[in-house]
């Protein structure tokens, strides 16, 4: 079938294209080749360029999106502004790309009587959870909010049970966890995901929101300062600089390899599905920032 991958020239997108090409699908990409992400390169890698149709443009432009969707039978919507810190001062930019982009996807399909799209997969994020799930000895699984700046200055880094104020420790966060994002990026992903589930059901197009954890792997940009801590640490280590670990270094993340993310995305794209769902995509392993720093220095 013909599959449109928005943001397909990016890190996850190019890995996905390489997985889909041998399966015989016709592939198209919609990407604006943002300099912050692509460093001025406005084309796909040489191994993909001859086989993939490219529409150079913005997902928040209705006419361009409609052109890219022509003939598509499935859509993987990866295009997004990323980076929690940047989202807090480039608010309009994040809102336009992340929320308006996915809204236009469903608006174009709602207006098009003859479209052939039968499946949509959208990249959501762990950022929708905020701190995520913790376990309290007295109250079981709880969902605390982030500590305040004043608390962190006092060295109080770990979230506390919102019911008793006691100590708690992080545990895997289920899909049923409440959404309480602590950044505007996380909020845009929450709105994006809820749009996907609402219109997927309303329009009768099975849609999947994949809540990616911290994705890493070959091809990840080392030039974009908002691609995450692995890129930051790698750049510092390459030039012999000290890796700075803040707080107590025990804050943890779930790091998931890009090919595992691609596996989940392809299955969501191709497996039979009647309803619209949201799913976590991670390794299930907890890694502290201190461990990441030590491993980076070893290599």
Question: What is the reported pTM?
Answer: 0.94
Per-residue pLDDT tens over the stretch 162-208: 999 999 999 999 999 999 999 999 999 999 999 999 999 999 999 99
Per-residue pLDDT tens over the stretch 8-59: 999 999 999 999 999 999 999 999 999 888 888 889 999 999 999 999 999 9
* Distance, CA of 82 to CA of 189 (rounded, Å): 10
Sign, CA dihedral 53-56-62-67, equals negative
* Distance, CA of 3 to CA of 126 (rounded, Å): 25
Residues designated catalytic:
185
164 to 136, 137, 139, 144: CA distances (angstroms):
9, 10, 8, 11
Per-residue pLDDT tens over the stretch 236-271: 888 889 998 988 888 889 999 999 999 999 999 999
């Amino acid at each position: 079938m013909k599959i449109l991958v928005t943001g397909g020239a990016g890190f996850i997108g190019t890995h996905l294209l390489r997985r889909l090409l041998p399966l015989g699908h016709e592939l198209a990409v919609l990407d604006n080749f943002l300099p912050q992400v692509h460093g001025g390169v406005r084309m796909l890698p040489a191994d993909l360029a001859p086989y993939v149709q490219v529409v150079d443009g913005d997902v928040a432009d209705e006419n361009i999106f409609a052109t890219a969707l022509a003939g598509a039978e499935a859509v993987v919507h990866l295009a997004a502004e990323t980076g929690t810190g940047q989202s807090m001062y480039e608010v309009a930019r994040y809102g336009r790309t992340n929320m308006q982009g996915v809204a236009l996807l469903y608006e174009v399909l709602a207006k098009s009587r003859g479209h052939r799209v039968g499946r949509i997969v959208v990249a959501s994020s762990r950022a929708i959870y905020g701190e995520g799930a913790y376990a309290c000895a007295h109250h079981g699984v709880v969902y605390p909010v982030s500590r305040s700046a004043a608390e962190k200055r006092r060295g109080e880094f770990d979230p506390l049970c919102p019911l008793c104020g006691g100590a708690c420790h992080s545990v895997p966060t289920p899909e049923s966890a409440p959404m309480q994002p602590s950044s505007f990026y996380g909020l845009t992903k929450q709105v994006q995901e809820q749009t996907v589930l609402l219109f997927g059901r309303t329009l009768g197009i099975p849609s999947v929101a994949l809540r990616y954890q911290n994705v890493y792997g070959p091809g990840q940009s080392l030039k974009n300062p908002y691609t995450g801590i692995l890129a930051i640490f790698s750049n510092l280590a390459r030039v012999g600089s000290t890796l700075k670990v803040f707080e107590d270094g025990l804050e943890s993340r779930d790091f998931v390899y890009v090919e595992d993310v691609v596996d989940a995305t392809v299955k969501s794209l191709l497996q039979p599905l009647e309803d619209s769902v949201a799913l976590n995509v991670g390794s299930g392993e907890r890694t502290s920032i201190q461990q990441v720093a030590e491993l980076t220095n070893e290599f």
